[in-house]
Amino acid sequence: MMLRKPLLAALVAAAALLGAGYFAFAGDDLSSATLVTATGRHAIEVELATTPDTRATGLMNRESMPAGQGMLFDFDESRPVSMWMKNTLIPLDMLFIDETGTVASIKTNAQPLSLDTIPSGVPVRYVLELNGGAAARYGVAKGDRLEHEIIPSP
């Protein structure tokens, strides 16, 4: 019994440290988005990638990402885009989103560390990266919508 309390305290401290480390790495760029699918409205906290440097780095070298979070890339214009998983350690779902916030194409469970390019297939302005499997959990399909302050309302 005496060992349980210190062990529990150590586990709580470790979890807090890991969480703090993630948020320190993510910075203050987390903002709220809503993914609207046939299964409902799903709140997602997103880190923004809006500069050439943040878009180039993306989620590289991160060992995890909390559930319910993602990274939203804004390419400043609609055009065909390609993503890759170089130095990305976690599997990702990628939602390719047009200028109105409509999901135009989806890539699920992109392979970590792969150098293969993942094309949007159509011109898009945004890409939302989520943990692998999240698109299925949210029931995402082409034509669904992402709402966020940087995406104009239709």
Count CA within 13 A, CB hemisphere, residue 26. Answer: 23
CA distances from residue 50 to 13, 69, 104, 111 in whole angstroms, order as listed: 33, 17, 20, 24
In this predicted structure, what is the pLDDT of residue 16? 41
Please give the chain's pLDDT, 154 residues, in tens. 444 554 444 444 444 444 434 443 444 579 999 999 999 999 999 999 999 999 999 999 999 999 999 999 999 999 999 999 999 999 999 999 999 999 999 999 999 999 999 999 999 999 999 999 999 999 999 999 999 999 998 7
The reported pLDDT for the residue numbered 28 is 54
Q: What is the pLDDT of residue 8?
A: 43
Q: How far apart are CA 100 and CA 80, in angstroms?
A: 15
Handedness of CA 47, 130, 68, 41 (dihedral sign): positive
pLDDT, residue 153, reads 83
Per-residue pLDDT, 4: 54
What residue segments make up the domains of the chain, in order of their start? 30-147
Distance CA 47, CA 152 (A): 18
In the CATH scheme, what is the homologous superfamily, with its name and number, of domain 30-147?
Protein of unknown function DUF192 (2.60.120.1140)
